[in-house]
Structure 1
Amino acid sequence: MNNTQGSLTTLALQKFKKNFWGVFSLSIVALCGLIAVFAYVLAPDNSENANQMHLSIHSKKPGFTVTMLTLPDAAATNESFFKKMFSGVHTAATEIPVNRYRFTADSLLYTEYNPEPAMALEKAIALQPAFNTAQKKAIEKRYIKQQTFILGTDKYGRDLLSRLLIGTRISFSIGFVAVFISLVVGVTLGSIAGYFGGKVDAFIMWIINVTWSIPTLLLVIGITLALGKGFWQVFIAVGLTMWVEVARVVRGQMVSAKQMQYVTAARALGYSNFRIISKHILPNIMAPVIVIAAANFAAAILVESGLSFLGIGAQPPIPSWGAMIKDHYNYIILGKAYLALIPGFAIMLLVMAFMLVGNALRDAFDVKN
């Protein structure tokens, strides 16, 4: 049976490789996965949650460039590379956008950024006496730089590109966690219902039908409010609403598969029900489950975005694509629609990629083609 399963899997893989849009979409998904892992390495603003605010340069267009003066954090501590990569740099350093700056004998004079330079006030930072040219160059190299915001800044003056990159983690995390929970719950209940039948099947189907009758978003909101607002609460809530379809498919496949000869042979050999289900039946009925899992990835991303838009998803300052749309949707009528459209396009691209991968998997596992 393993040889047959292996050959079917090989044929499905070959068919999948011939599907251009499936392979292309899988490449997009893989690229987004790499971005999610290395988000803080790639993000121009690698502070925790990319939350460096510069209110004086809020809502600037893509490509905006400004001179940035950094006032170091005296209490800064060394952090490991892996901590920086996975949670960002925890810093209290202050970044100040400036129009211009100049050095005097014992001070650094600067004017904070203002669209009207004539109205900007000049401020001073005291330096040690007898300040020399070498020290001036060292300060300019370390603390003063030209910073370009490739996608512009949001309404709080944060780098939109950095927030977008780090927000990829939320979408991927919600997909993996929600799909994992839905598979564990759905496969378990569907297998039990389909294999044993009778009252057990009737009871589990009753639970499935009740859960199915409740609108998904409403059920997620209810679970989220019960568990509380937060990062992991949303993941669990979304996962607990996506197991129903998995359970129905697994149950239907199990009802058909348990009549097969190899199951009868396994029973005759005295194998336990758990072994028959886990070792013999499930490996042969997982193809449609894989297709559903790919679709659930896309659905989970959309549900999380909707929750964040409503304000009960990932809480600020954690970057989330849905929350970014919520913060800036009113900018659409103010001539800065890109602030909402860019995260919206990111959601659309990732969801479409997952859906196309699911369609390609469905075609690859379809024995009629």
Structure 2
Amino acid sequence: MPKTASLSKLTLQKLRKSFWGVLSFCIISFFILIALFAYVLAPDSSQYANQMHISIHSQPPGFAVDLITIPSINQSSSVLDWWNGNETPGTEIPFTDLKKIDGVIAYQPYDVDGQELPFKPLEFYEAQELELSRFRESYTTHKTFLLGTDKYGRDLLSRMMIGTRVSISIGFVAVLISLLIGIPLGAIAGYYGGKIDAAIMWLINVTWSIPTLLMVIAISIALGKGFLTVFIAVGLTMWVEIARVVRGQMIVAKEYQYVTAARALGFNDMRIIARHILPNILAPVIVISAANFAAAILIEAGLSFLGLGAQPPIPSWGSMIKDHYQYIILDKAYLAVVPGIAIMLLVMAFMLLGNSLRDALDVRTNS
């Protein structure tokens, strides 16, 4: 007789046949890879991609300029630069022209309005001993900003890449916190019932009634604004939905025959819950977690827009929209639209993945 495929294999096969499921998985994987190797891929590898060039602020995508790169006096490198970025980057100076004046190399600063500014002597002792051609070869570069520059003259593409870390990490940590709190509480409430169920349900209802923004403000007062505050606040508002779903599934599952058999064999309650019931009721939890991941990204973006999320100079898609939303009426809408599209694309990918998982995990269609 042919072997019957397991439920997990059937689910995986069905998920592979889903166009939107595969597409959303590829999009999410793409963003995760960017988040992991942001400083390796980003044109600006300084920490938080915070190299400012005020003279070339708010330039359109594809803008190119010549830069003088002066190494930092305390410049150092570390094996962790690929993860944390370069903490001691050199100074970059946009320029239009170079020449020697009285034996001293001078540069003409770049002007965004196209005006010819006076030459300034370059206060860089090591460079003065070089010929102009050698100096150009060693210390100047021609840089193209593929997505343009923000209002501080920072590379928008690099900021977008490093900002991916904020969205991916907030979603991951918030979902992890919600699972660590919601699954145990929901399982205990559904399995034991009675006063324990009533007490946990009271806690769930009270927590659910507190708006996320109000909780963030309260935690911000206690811990201060920052990355950690957003993690805690978002995670503490998402566990209630997980707990309610697990509780409902547990109430039904504890009456099944395999649970009765496990009790008859003398297994304790914790083993029955953890080893027998939970593995059989995790399908809806997985679907909800995908939706919660998307919700966490939206909440973080909203909080950063309000100034309660990741604080400068950490790049966040929400704070980038906040900094540039007024540019929408100044023919520079891309400064706010680009991070907005990234948020929309990542959230849509998680929602589509959740829908595909829901269909793939439906037992009635896996036969």
Return the TM-score normalized by structure 1. 0.94
In 2: Cα distance, 1:296 partner to 1:56 partner: 42
Moved more, 85-94 or 168-177: 85-94
Quick check: 1:105–1:130 contact (8 Å CA) kept in 2? no
1:107 positional shift: 2.0
Residue aligning to 1:214: 210
Residues 118, 172 of structure 1: alpha-carbon distance in 2 compared, 3 angstrom cutoff: closer
1:337 aligns with 2:336: no
Partner letter of residue 266 of structure 2?
G
Residue aligning to 2:91: 94
In 2: Cα distance, 1:272 partner to 1:316 partner: 51
Q: Matched residue of 2:364: which SS?
A: coil
Moved more, 217-226 or 7-16: 217-226
1:211 positional shift: 1.6
In 1: Cα distance, 2:310 partner to 2:115 partner: 41
1:237 aligns with 2:233: yes
1:199-210 superposed matches below 5 A: 199-210=195-206
Residue aligning to 1:228: 224
Residue aligning to 1:180: 176
Quick check: 1:106–1:128 contact (8 Å CA) kept in 2? no
Q: Deviations over 1:182-226 (max 9, x none)?
A: 001000100010011000000101111112223333333333333
Of the candidates 147, 166, 172, which is equivalent to residue 170 of structure 1? 166
1:255 positional shift: 0.5
Residue aligning to 1:125: 122
Q: Deviations over 1:85-132 (max 9, x none)?
A: 111011152111011112457321101111345441211126579956
Q: Deviations over 1:284-329 (max 9, x none)?
A: 0000000000000000000000000000100000000000000000
1:115 aligns with 2:140: no
Residues 245, 71 of structure 1: alpha-carbon distance in 2 compared, 3 angstrom cutoff: same
Q: Deviations over 1:62-97 (max 9, x none)?
A: 1111110112111212322xx111110111521110
Quick check: 1:193–1:251 contact (8 Å CA) kept in 2? yes
1:347 positional shift: 0.1
Instruction: Structure 1 unaligned segments of length 5 or more: list them.
Output: none
Moved more, 236-245 or 99-108: 99-108
Q: Deviations over 1:105-161 (max 9, x none)?
A: 73211011113454412111265799565xx44432331011111100000000000
Residue aligning to 1:16: 15
Quick check: 2:53–2:154 contact (8 Å CA) kept in 1? yes
Residue aligning to 2:29: 30
In 2: Cα distance, 1:118 partner to 1:216 partner: 50
1:14 positional shift: 1.1
Q: CA RMSD in A?
A: 1.9
In 2: Cα distance, 1:86 partner to 1:274 partner: 40
Q: Matched residue of 1:287: which SS?
A: helix
Residue aligning to 1:67: 66
In 1: Cα distance, 2:201 partner to 2:251 partner: 13
Moved more, 353-362 or 256-265: 256-265
Q: Deviations over 1:221-277 (max 9, x none)?
A: 333333321111211111111001000000000001111111111111111111111
Residues 118, 164 of structure 1: alpha-carbon distance in 2 compared, 3 angstrom cutoff: closer
Residue aligning to 2:301: 305
Residues 367, 116 of structure 1: alpha-carbon distance in 2 compared, 3 angstrom cutoff: closer
In 1: Cα distance, 2:196 partner to 2:228 partner: 32
Partner letter of residue 281 of structure 1?
I
Residue aligning to 1:272: 268
In 2: Cα distance, 1:24 partner to 1:36 partner: 19
In 2: Cα distance, 1:60 partner to 1:292 partner: 41
Quick check: 2:146–2:157 contact (8 Å CA) kept in 1? yes
Quick check: 2:212–2:233 contact (8 Å CA) kept in 1? no
In 1: Cα distance, 2:330 partner to 2:295 partner: 31
Partner letter of residue 114 of structure 1?
D
1:11 positional shift: 1.2
1:364 positional shift: 0.5
Residue aligning to 1:39: 38
Quick check: 1:105–1:131 contact (8 Å CA) kept in 2? no
Q: Matched residue of 1:75: which SS?
A: coil
Moved more, 315-324 or 359-368: 359-368
Return the TM-score normalized by structure 2. 0.94
In 1: Cα distance, 2:209 partner to 2:271 partner: 33
Residue aligning to 1:314: 310
Instruction: Structure 2 unaligned segments of length 5 or more: list them.
Output: none
In 2: Cα distance, 1:158 partner to 1:209 partner: 45
Residues 43, 226 of structure 1: alpha-carbon distance in 2 compared, 3 angstrom cutoff: same
Of the candidates 352, 355, 368, which is equivalent to residue 351 of structure 2? 355
Residue aligning to 1:324: 320
Quick check: 2:230–2:300 contact (8 Å CA) kept in 1? yes
